Amino acid sequence: MQIALLGGTGDIGQGLALRWAQDTDHDVIIGSREAEKAKAKAQEYETELAGRDCDVSIAGHENADAAAAADVVVLSVPAYYLSDTIDAVADSLGDAILVSPAVGMQRDEDGIHYNPPGVGSVTALAAQAVDDVPVVGAFHNLAAGKLANLDAELDWDVPIVADDDDAKATVSELADGIDGIRPLDAGGLANASEVESLTPLLINLAANNEGLHDLGVKFW
């Protein structure tokens, strides 16, 4: 499968790109607002993986070109760039599935708080911004640093929400392809806010408890 990571030059985009390239046979495409930056990052990831005896080719394109080439498009951009990024690629999505991992958060003196848009969740905002494109909420609760550190063994759950069952199954399979990730069905898009709000909790727990950092979650 062709997976485009828009905003694949940093944060969880980097970790997802490296892990999918290393752990699966899917083709990874890095998207960025600037094609040159995307290509440079793609090459950087290739070099890192080659150093681990993993010879893969990773493409790098401007966001719309990356989206046009992909079966699954991951919006790995901060929540406040989400609408602009979708606008920029909407005409290029074709039959692709759109994946939203972003979370709206706000910091004050008490720490980090969940701060969803009026529509209820960032995932719902993504769904509202596109017509006839299946939207899946996933990968909200992954710690970017640990995800991108290929020496780190993962053992995390990934709750997934979608109204389109086929799209949900496809993204679950993609998540399952990463070693140490277990996809879990968290319901429809209306259940996205409970998944997203777990992210500020993870950040607050890491900030308040010595020895805990780069937190993910396991349900049992």
Report, in Å, the least distance between residue 109 CB and a second copy.
9
- Residue 79-108 contact track with a second copy, rule CB under 8 A, x = bound: -----------------------------x
Q: Measuring CA to CA, how many Å separate 164 from each of 76, 95, 189?
A: 20, 13, 9
Cα distances (Å, whole numbers) of residue 215 to 16, 189, 198: 16, 24, 11
Q: Cβ closer to a second copy: 51 or 211?
A: 211
- Terminal Cα distance for the chain, rounded: 31
Write out the binding residues for a second copy, residues 15-54 only, by CB under 8 A.
none
What CA–CA distance (Å, rounded) separates 142 from 216?
Answer: 6
Residues 103 and 194: beta-carbon distance below 8 Å: no
Select 76 or 197, whichever has its Cβ closest to a second copy.
197
d(C-alpha 5, C-alpha 119), whole Å: 24
Task: Return the residues of window 183-202 that contact a second copy according to CB under 8 A.
Answer: 184-188, 190-191, 193-195, 197-198, 200-202
- Could you tell me the two tokens for 194? 């409970």
Residue 93 CB, shortest distance to a second copy, in Å, is: 25
Q: In the window 122-181, what residues touch a second copy (CB under 8 A)?
A: 155, 159
Binder of a second copy out of 82, 113, 119, 134 (CB under 8 A): 113
Q: Name which of 52 and 213 has its Cβ closer to a second copy.
A: 213
Three-class SS state of 30: strand
Outline where 105-197 has alpha helix (H).
122-128, 144-148, 165-176, 192-196
Q: How far is the CB of 185 from a second copy (least distance, A)?
A: 4
**CA 139 to mean position of chain CA atoms:** 5
Among 25, 55, 110, 131, binds a second copy (CB under 8 A): 110
Which residues contact a second copy by CB under 8 A?
108, 110-111, 113-114, 155, 159, 184-188, 190-191, 193-195, 197-198, 200-202, 204-205, 207-209, 212, 215-220
